[in-house]
Structure 1
Amino acid sequence: MQTLIFLGAIMACLGVALGAFGAHALKDKFTEPRYAAIWETAVQYHMYHSLGLLGLGILSSDALLGASNMLSWAGYLMFAGIIFFSGSLYILAVTGVKKFGAITPIGGLLFIIAWVLVALSTIA
Structure 2
Amino acid sequence: MQDIKQRDIEHVILVGCQVNREDEEFDQSIAELERLAKTAKGKVVGTITQKREKVEPSTYVGKGKVQELVHLIEETEADLVIFNDELQASQMRNLHAECGIAVIDRTQLILDIFASRAKSREG
Q: TM-score range by the shorter chain?
A: 0.3 to 0.5
Bigger share in helix: 1
Instruction: Kindly name which structure, 1 or 2, has the bigger radius of gyration based on alpha carbons.
Output: 1
TM-score (norm 1): 0.35
